Chain A
Amino acid sequence: MDFPPGDFLILGCVCPLVIVTPEVSMGRYVIRRILQAIPLLLLVSIFMFALIHLMPGGPDQVIFNPHLSAAARAQMRVRFGLDDPVPIQYLKWLRNALTGDFGFSFTTNLPVLTVLGQRFPATLELFGSALIFALIFAILLGVVAGVRQRSITDYTLTTVSYFGISMPVFLFALFGQYIFAVALHWLPASGITSVGYTLAPFDAFVDGVWHLILPMMVLSILFIAAWSRYLRSTMIDVVKQDYMRTARAKGVSPLGVLMRHAMRNALIPLVTVVTLDFGSIAGGAVITETIFSWPGMGQLFYQSLEARDYPILLAMLTLSAFFVVAFNLLADILYGVLDPRIRYA
């Protein structure tokens, strides 16, 4: 039941009390969400900054080196901006961050953005390929389980999914390394490329894919398990709809009904879930990247946490928050684009 835009309507006591707010265009909705995101990100940055400075020792103790002279230590404090009061440090950091300057890494002395720029492509490669791989298999398994509800196939896939959700990622990683790298010598145990020699472009591509297979498969397991369960539920709901029976009655083949009607409707919510999961890319896959020595954002986060490299941590946490907010908005927009029944308010 659609209500004309701009009208308020209060139904009678026969129905539950419903108040309908006026509809807005997608553009206005996006602008409103962006305006809401700004104070949210600001609050997150303040919280992160305060948290990092509250951690034991704080930044000053991290760069403390007893072999440094007093003059050198003073110089380091100035170089890293630690000689100002904390609120001033935050305001300076915010001002610089808005221009893309997140300072210098405590450990490597490189600009933070340079360090992040070096690591992000590796995470994008791993995360992106894992999501695509997971999406393909999740759709396959979810659809099969959904249309064959309560069959042996469904129960088998359900069991495997729960196993995938329950088992920790590091266990899959270690098993994968042992089976495919140590026992079978099919795949490398770690690293992003073979080292020590220069390959022709095509060979380098193949080498990269060869190194990608194992960490990608490990990372995708959790996604496949979770998404296939989600898709199974939506498929079960969709196949029971009247329009599905109508389409079949009109003579559309079972495969056609599945592809043109069932899947298209069942996938809409999944697109939202996938978009939200992709938003966590900025943080990387800490465990997977560390175990496979994959030089991405996740490994960087782990190393920076161990080394208390605060500029890196602050930048990564801020970027993660930004990505989460941005991809949340994207998910909402996509949902509205894909499902014309959705109205923004």
Chain B
Amino acid sequence: MMFKQTKPRILMLSVSFFSIMVLLLSACGAVGPNNQQGAGTPVKGGVWIDDIYEEPDSLIPNGSTETFSNLVDNAIWAPLFYGDASGHITPGLVATLPTVQNGGISSDLKTWKFTLRSGLTWSDGQPLDARDVDFSWRLWMNPKFTPGSSTGFNLITGADISNNNLTITFHLKQAFSPFLSIWTDGLFAPLPQHVFASIPPDRILNSPQNLNPTVASGPFMVTQSKPGSSYTVSRNTHYYQAAAGLPYLDKIVFRVSPDQNTILKDLQSGAVNSSWFLDVTKTVAYKALSNYTVSANPHASNFEAIYFNFRNPILGNNLDVRKAIAMAIDHQALIDTARRGYATPLCTDHGQSYVPGYQANAPCPKFDPTGAAQLLEQDGWVKGADGVRSKNGQRLEFQYSTTANNYWRADDELVMQSDMSAIGIKLDITNYPASTFFGPFLNGGDPNKYNIGEFEDSFSYDGDDYSLEACSQIPPGGSNFSFYCNHDLDKLFQQEQVTADPNARQAIFNQIHQIYLTEFPFVTLYGPTDIAIHKNTAHGYNPGPEGASETVGVWNWWCTGGQC
């Protein structure tokens, strides 16, 4: 059976037409450099599109502790206090920052008085006052609600509300210096009592309000919620700073993009105005975008550290081994290689934004592999034929674990492996998905699996690091993943929590650091800085070092000419 063949002429004509179309249409897509009209005076208007790497799992304050929930919360909920780009706490809904001097805080740190601004309203026009604050903490402490965090709220024994409903006075069962920080940023903003009081506490997080709250207090309010796709927030005309013309933007669209490669493509195609928490291994590609600016907050508050599992008999019982490891780490190589320069030198758990907390002159261990090797030799750890040290049948060979699928941590591990190999310690790398690593792996503390774990941590706006190494925080009671218990350290934690004077508190933090840098329950590698990017026509974008991070000061975002 024969069929007629397509004439070559038609094929050639088709190809030629297609080629011409390609040439013509490619000219339409050309993007030249942005025409910056000057970043001077903010202009109202515009729809800002922001790619977010993870999906929020709740938009109800304290319904979650997830970073990206906090990020969106800060756009739709006005908290009592805001953190600024330097990591300092400033007044939000409260009229003034309470201090011991102005009588807002009692000298014993057990009575805290918050006075709200007058005339506050929710986005539906209902009054916002101290009764909503009172309702909120009681809800968060209701076990049926299952809050993201109860730290600090669990110390409240009662609260008094003034006759004009503007002041709420909290009474704590014990002094707690970080009490302001637990009310800071949108994640811990007050909830509208008139909306949530009618919903059973155990149903609130299951309700449509969880990802689509109908009433807001922040600069924006949710107008479209598409889980898995995007969350659109529009200007809230009842925002307490509306009279000052804030926020500038008409809308922000938080677009869920759970793949870093896709975020890069969105940036390369100019489809988004900003993104935060970017992949540091793609820094070169980000910097190549001529119409975007890469930024990193210099006031890093996070710290990347390796934690020793004290349940491992070698690591738990041999200070010299831990000290030798600390001395053998080439921190600068880690910063340059793994983080591509986006990290600051740090050897404690307090970055520069913590005041009190940060100790500029901390006695950090010097990079001294020769000294580390000598220390091990003097302690009786002898190198075997395979280069690994041993003593009394115990080998200096450890499992070294972190989260999987993280390229810069993988680079970290290679540098560390090389550093340790030079002094006769063998590190066997075994990584786990984040949910497993931060779940059963660290919490289980199995000394046969978990020897050395690496991850990033930070505190809220207060440098209280009780949760890091307190004896009571050993899992399942908390997140002391070193399984380390030092009662002297516990006493210092208690002291800093009940001390109001910042200088006195700094002195206590210094003592805490001294223990960390002599006992080595963990070794800080560096202070990583989160990378963000924004279009050159986007202004006011200034991610903070902690808390709501990217959306710190979100009401100040604006675009050139009001066009994003």
- Write the residues of chain A forming the contact surface with B, with a CB cutoff of 8 angstroms: 56-58, 61-62, 64-69, 71-72, 74-76, 79, 104, 107-111, 115, 118-119, 122, 147-148, 174, 177-178, 181-186, 188-193, 195-197, 239, 244-245, 248, 254, 257-258, 290-293, 295-296, 299-300, 302-303, 306-308
A108→B57 contact, CB < 8 A: yes
Instruction: For the complex of A and B, list the 3 residue pairs with the smallest distance between their C-beta atoms, beginning with the closest.
Output: A185-B29, A57-B440, A295-B228
For the complex, give the distance between the alpha carbons of A212 and B203 in Å: 37
B255→A57 contact, CB < 8 A: no
Q: Would you give the shortest CB distance from B564 to chain A, in whole angstroms? A: 8
A109→B58 contact, CB < 8 A: yes
CB neighbors of A among B508-531 (8 A): none
Encode B43-60 as 1/0 by CB contact (under 8 A) with A. 000010100000101100
Chain B residues contacting A65 (CB-CB under 8 Å) are 65, 148
Q: Which of B125-133, B370-378, B431-439 contacts A (4 or more CB under 8 A)?
A: B431-439
A109→B205 contact, CB < 8 A: yes
Q: Show 18 residue pairs from A and B whose CB-CB distance is below 8 angstroms, ordered by the A residue.
A: A57-B435, A57-B440, A66-B478, A67-B150, A72-B146, A74-B143, A75-B144, A75-B146, A118-B226, A148-B5, A181-B268, A186-B29, A190-B266, A191-B230, A196-B47, A196-B232, A293-B229, A296-B228
Chain B residues contacting A74 (CB-CB under 8 Å) are 143
For the complex, give the distance between the alpha carbons of A147 and B1 in Å: 9
Q: Would you give the shortest CB distance from B23 to chain A, in whole angstroms? A: 11
B262→A292 contact, CB < 8 A: yes
Chain B residues contacting A111 (CB-CB under 8 Å) are 206
One of A178, A183, A293 near B256 (C-beta < 8 A):
A293
Q: Would you give the shortest CB distance from B273 to chain A, in whole angstroms? A: 10
Q: Would you give the shortest CB distance from B261 to chain A, in whole angstroms? A: 7
Chain B residues contacting A239 (CB-CB under 8 Å) are 1
B258 at the interface (CB under 8 A from A): yes
B228→A184 contact, CB < 8 A: no
CB neighbors of A among B133-149 (8 A): 143-149
Q: If the complex has contacts A64-B476, A115-B227, A308-B439, are A185 and B49 also in contact, measured as CB distance less than 8 A?
A: no
A293→B255 contact, CB < 8 A: yes
Q: If the complex has contacts A66-B473, A177-B265, are A184 and B29 also in contact, measured as CB distance less than 8 A?
A: yes
For the complex, give the distance between the alpha carbons of A338 and B538 in Å: 60
B271 at the interface (CB under 8 A from A): yes
For the complex, give the distance between the alpha carbons of A291 and B229 in Å: 13
B143→A72 contact, CB < 8 A: yes
B476→A66 contact, CB < 8 A: yes
B265→A189 contact, CB < 8 A: yes
B206→A68 contact, CB < 8 A: no
B293 at the interface (CB under 8 A from A): no
Chain B residues contacting A75 (CB-CB under 8 Å) are 143-144, 146, 202
Q: Would you give the shortest CB distance from A187 to chain B, in whole angstroms? A: 9
A110→B4 contact, CB < 8 A: no
B258→A118 contact, CB < 8 A: no
B290 at the interface (CB under 8 A from A): no
B29→A69 contact, CB < 8 A: no
B interface, over-half SS: loop
Chain B residues contacting A307 (CB-CB under 8 Å) are 435
B26→A184 contact, CB < 8 A: yes
Chain B residues contacting A197 (CB-CB under 8 Å) are 47
One of B251, B259, B433 near A293 (C-beta < 8 A):
B259
B262→A190 contact, CB < 8 A: yes
Q: If the complex has contacts A110-B206, A184-B26, A190-B266, are A174 and B261 also in contact, measured as CB distance less than 8 A?
A: yes
B402 at the interface (CB under 8 A from A): no
One of B30, B258, B265 near A290 (C-beta < 8 A):
B258
Chain B residues contacting A257 (CB-CB under 8 Å) are 1
Further contacts, 16 of them, CB under 8 A, given A181-B271, A244-B1: A56-B432, A64-B476, A65-B148, A66-B443, A66-B476, A67-B148, A108-B211, A110-B206, A118-B226, A189-B271, A190-B266, A195-B253, A258-B3, A290-B258, A292-B262, A308-B436
B151 at the interface (CB under 8 A from A): yes
By beta carbon, the residue of chain B nearest A80 is: B146
Chain A residues contacting B268 (CB-CB under 8 Å) are 178, 181-182, 189
For the complex, give the distance between the alpha carbons of A139 and B4 in Å: 18
Encode B12-53 as 1/0 by CB contact (under 8 A) with A. 000000000000011011110000000000000001010000
Interface centre among A58, A67, A104, A148 (most CB of B within 10 A): A67
Q: Would you give the shortest CB distance from B262 to chain A, in whole angstroms? A: 5
Q: Would you give the shortest CB distance from A58 to chain B, in whole angstroms? A: 8
CB neighbors of A among B404-443 (8 A): 432-436, 439-441, 443
CB neighbors of A among B204-256 (8 A): 205-206, 210-211, 226-230, 232, 251, 253, 255-256
One of B30, B63, B255, B434 near A191 (C-beta < 8 A):
B255
A104→B206 contact, CB < 8 A: yes
By beta carbon, the residue of chain B nearest A299 is: B228
B353 at the interface (CB under 8 A from A): no
A185→B269 contact, CB < 8 A: yes
Encode B438-479 as 1/0 by CB contact (under 8 A) with A. 011101000000000000000000000001000001011111
Q: If the complex has contacts A68-B146, A195-B232, A290-B259, are A110 and B47 also in contact, measured as CB distance less than 8 A?
A: no
A190→B210 contact, CB < 8 A: no
B265→A190 contact, CB < 8 A: yes
